[in-house]
Amino acid sequence: MTLQLVSRTQCFDGAQCQYSHRSSALDCEMRFSIFLPSQAEKDQRFPVLYWLSGLTCTDENFSQKAGAQRMAAELGIVLVIPDTSPRGEAVADADGYDLGKGAGFYVNATQSPWKPHYRMYDYIVEELPALIEANFPVSERRAISGHSMGGHGALTIALKNPARYLSVSAFSPICNPIACPWGEKAFAAYLGENRAAWEEHDATVLLSRATEQLPMLISQGEEDQFLEQQLKPNALEAAAKAAGYPVKIEYHAGYDHSYFFIATFIEQHLRFHADYLLHAG
């Protein structure tokens, strides 16, 4: 699979890059961003944190707004930031920001007209890591994080694939999508009316059924405008308590849903992941 370099910018003695490639999982051209610390130019392999972005975002929001590169460079962690959904003229879309392009929800669609391209689950879990590990100086030590819809993606993907990741974190995740307007709309479109299929992509349900546990950190702003109706962290917290799953959920007074919140606490999240990515065992 051929990678095309779109841009490269020096950042904290490392390189913030954007690449394009043809995705077989999504059957379209895709872009991703990657931050390579300066040490990555040496003959070493470095762990990777995959970051999944939220509704309306592309691969550029996190790389431009979160300020994560400084700490990633210091720790020696590669950041991989994929797009949120398939793109292109042939890809199905919808009116509104919460379905279609920019709203892939990290699932494999089973319904028309979404099924041919909307296979973000396969792309994130299988295709993109294989591409990264074949072309960049990285190891198979992976962690995953994300925001909002991307927080939903990070939690569900980690819970469904605990052997693939060493840790998982999220900012303001959609914790219980089968019971919120964003999730109900997206899952009905992409997965149809079989609610059992929806449960396979709901962090609260998956956590309640988990047989393996991963280190998990969640940050939630108390002034988040989507907190009560869309995000529902209390549902996840209750499921974790009932299942004995050691989730660390931190609520932060005064913070909202924006990248200002992410930028404030991204260092904490990177250090959290470093505890598992950088230490064998």
Tens digit of each residue's pLDDT (9 = 90 or more) over 165-213: 999 999 999 999 999 999 999 999 999 999 999 999 999 999 999 999 9
pLDDT for 114 = 98
Cα 54 to Cα 84: distance, rounded to the nearest angstrom? 7
Q: What is the DSSP letter of 260?
A: H
Tens digit of each residue's pLDDT (9 = 90 or more) over 171-183: 999 999 999 999 9
pLDDT for 70 = 97
pLDDT for 42 = 67
pLDDT for 271 = 98
pTM of the model: 0.97
Residue type, 276: Y
pLDDT for 280 = 66
Residues of the chain with pLDDT under 70: 1, 40-42, 280-281
pLDDT for 230 = 98
- Are the C-beta atoms of residues 60 and 15 closer than 8 Å to each other? no
pLDDT for 1 = 65
User: Residues with catalytic annotation?
Assistant: 148, 224, 257
pLDDT for 90 = 95
pLDDT for 41 = 63
